[in-house]
Structure 1
Amino acid sequence: MNDIIVGMGEALWDVLPEGKKLGGAPANFAYHVSQFGLNSRVVSAVGQDKLGAEILENFREKNLNCMIESVPYPTGTVQVELDAEGVPCYDIKEGVAWDNIPYTKALEGLARQTRAVCFGSLAQRSIVSRETIHQFLDAMPEGPDTLKIFDINLRQSFYTKEILCDSFSRCNILKINDEELVTVSRMFGYPGIDLKDKCWILLAKYNLKMLILTCGVNGSYVFTPGHISFVETPKVEVADTVGAGDSFTAAFTAAILKGRSVEEAHRLAVDTSAFVCTQQGAMPVFPETLIGRLS
């Protein structure tokens, strides 16, 4: 196994008030994993258009390896508006390239070399990309060291109970925030239960290795069978929170793959996410003080 780490799903432009920035959780995840020295790939699709060419050029400039198909659909865009606290609201265009990621022989070959993959619910809103993600997960090597991370990432109305249930069953690490947990609890019939108890239920029901719960300024938790890690959220000057969650997932994954404990991985993830919140956009360059913690 070549220990490749894959971010799979949407590749798009976040159109922010100050202009467009490269976005999409898979690209954010793969870029940040690569900053920690791991071999990462973005898997997605772009259109045969100027915006698609610009995404590929942007990846090249960032030295970000990718397996991106060009398909006859427009490249994805998202209108992002920030509220007074810098929290983003999204208007995600439909029927775009990343809804139509094809499953190819090359992609199957990549899956067989993949040690960890991060996928979400958004890229599964269309049947084409959803089936591609499922086939990729099925083709990955089996074993205790293989990580299948479902970073749930609920957006607008682009999810169903069936998609979530299926993804919970296919992953071995679930990452969810407190608002998403409330939504999931309503859908799955766990109302009126303490947030932590809901996490224990999900961990046990889907036989997960870990469940990561982020609660914004109220800290974050990592649940493993029989143990909880809690880390407070540092107080920082927030520029915007775009991509902060993806950087958390990337730092946590990189640390676990490099043999760090859950507590060490959790602390690095929190500090990385806090740094990203102080920067504009989803893909800032990390300082050596963060990168050096895994060297």
Structure 2
Amino acid sequence: MDKQNYVVGIGEVLWDILPDGKKIGGAPANFAYHVSQFGLCSQVVSAIGKDKLGYEIMDNFKSKGLGTLIEQVEYPTGTVQVQVDANGVPCYDIKENVAWDNLPFTDRLLQLAESTCAVCFGSLAQRNIISRTTINSFLDRMPDGDFQYKIFDVNLRQGFYTKDILCNSLRQCNVLKINDEELVIISRLFGYPGIDLQDKCWILLAKYKLKMLILTCGVNGSYVFTPGNISFVETPKVKIADTVGAGDSFTATFIAAILKGKSINEAHKLAVDVSAYVCTKAGAMPEISSELLNRL
């Protein structure tokens, strides 16, 4: 892959305030970090405030060797209060009107879009019109082609989504990543609640002319749908520390493997194993084991 072909996570970057302290989070940042661990040129695109929390984010990314295009804006750096239940499942209280809600579309961002082969974006960072417009402008300026991937990782959080945002994002993407709970919610919104999960996936794949649809079902395994084909991989049984960032590591690993020429099945299996590994570690950005990295 040409070194100018960047893999980008665009949207929220924030501090997850966990029971045992704060850890950097935000799905796009998690995605970009895990992509970088597989040796690809990744960039996290977001915004921070001119405050201590913002400077700490930049220091942390620098220490990880993570590429960034992060604007400083006149809003506070984002934070999320995270409570983790007895099963390790997180519950989020996401603060509003923060820096990443106000991401400007700059000339630097335009140039990055034109050099991007894969981008991952979600619904949360589109809750504010400024960042929503920037994300859509980025997607519009990306090249189109067989090896260009626009991944919509739905990531429904609290009430921060609308049917219009979801519909537009589905039209903009060519790869959809969704979990079983999100699929149920979207099916109700879109008016086909009475059919099974797989049929819903086939409908979305065809309606939005997707290259791939990734469905994760927690302990019940995961699927990758492509036109005419389906891959299923069971979820390994591991001792869970927490599930924060596990889905982001799945998406990052899957697309890194695809970009490195692996088959759908090979990419899917590696993504499942990396995601399971991340569940055994606290926080969203653990270092992936060398055994897993060496599979690419």
SS of corresponding position for 2:255: helix
**Counterparts of 1:257 and 1:151, CA distance in 2:** 18
Query: Which runs of 5 or more structure 2 residues have no equivalent in the other structure?
Result: none
SS of corresponding position for 1:190: coil
Aligned counterpart in structure 2 of residue 134 of structure 1, from 112, 136, 151: 136
Which runs of structure 1 show a deviation greater than 6 angstroms over 4 or more consecutive aligned residues?
none
**Counterparts of 1:93 and 1:286, CA distance in 2:** 29
- Identify the residue that residue 191 of structure 1 maps to in structure 2: 193
Kindly indicate whether residue 205 of structure 2 is the aligned counterpart of residue 203 of structure 1: yes
Aligned counterpart in structure 2 of residue 231 of structure 1, from 225, 230, 233: 233
- Identify the residue that residue 98 of structure 1 maps to in structure 2: 100
**Counterparts of 1:100 and 1:290, CA distance in 2:** 36
Aligned counterpart in structure 1 of residue 56 of structure 2, from 47, 54, 57: 54
- Identify the residue that residue 24 of structure 1 maps to in structure 2: 26
- Identify the residue that residue 154 of structure 1 maps to in structure 2: 156
- Identify the residue that residue 278 of structure 2 maps to in structure 1: 276
1:144 shift after superposition: 1.2
**2:254 counterpart letter in structure 1:** F
1:127 shift after superposition: 0.2
SS of corresponding position for 2:8: strand
1:126 shift after superposition: 0.3
Aligned counterpart in structure 2 of residue 37 of structure 1, from 28, 36, 39: 39
- Identify the residue that residue 113 of structure 1 maps to in structure 2: 115
**1:162 counterpart letter in structure 2:** D
Which structure 2 residues correspond to residues 166-185 of structure 1 after superposition, within 5 A? 166-185=168-187
Question: How many residues matched?
Answer: 294
- Identify the residue that residue 7 of structure 1 maps to in structure 2: 9
The one-character-per-residue Cα deviations of 1:184-225 (angstroms, maximum 9, x if unpaired) are 000000111010000000000000000000000000000000
The one-character-per-residue Cα deviations of 1:11-61 (angstroms, maximum 9, x if unpaired) are 000000000000000110000000001000000000011100100111001
**1:99 counterpart letter in structure 2:** D
1:69 shift after superposition: 0.2
**Counterparts of 2:89 and 2:127, CA distance in 1:** 23
TM-score, normalised on structure 2? 0.99
The one-character-per-residue Cα deviations of 1:167-191 (angstroms, maximum 9, x if unpaired) are 0000000000000000000000011
1:142 shift after superposition: 1.5
CA RMSD of aligned residues (A): 0.5
Which structure 2 residues correspond to residues 63-78 of structure 1 after superposition, within 5 A? 63-78=65-80
**Counterparts of 2:97 and 2:74, CA distance in 1:** 11
- Identify the residue that residue 86 of structure 2 maps to in structure 1: 84
Query: Which runs of 5 or more structure 1 residues have no equivalent in the other structure?
Result: none
1:3 shift after superposition: 1.2
TM-score, normalised on structure 1? 0.99
1:143 shift after superposition: 1.0
SS of corresponding position for 2:166: helix
Aligned counterpart in structure 1 of residue 221 of structure 2, from 219, 222, 227: 219
**Counterparts of 1:9 and 1:182, CA distance in 2:** 24
Q: Give identity over the alignment, percent.
A: 72
Kindly indicate whether residue 268 of structure 2 is the aligned counterpart of residue 255 of structure 1: no
SS of corresponding position for 1:293: coil
**2:197 counterpart letter in structure 1:** L
**2:30 counterpart letter in structure 1:** N
**Counterparts of 1:291 and 1:274, CA distance in 2:** 14
The one-character-per-residue Cα deviations of 1:78-101 (angstroms, maximum 9, x if unpaired) are 000000000000000000000000
The one-character-per-residue Cα deviations of 1:238-291 (angstroms, maximum 9, x if unpaired) are 000000000000000000000100000000000000000000010111111111
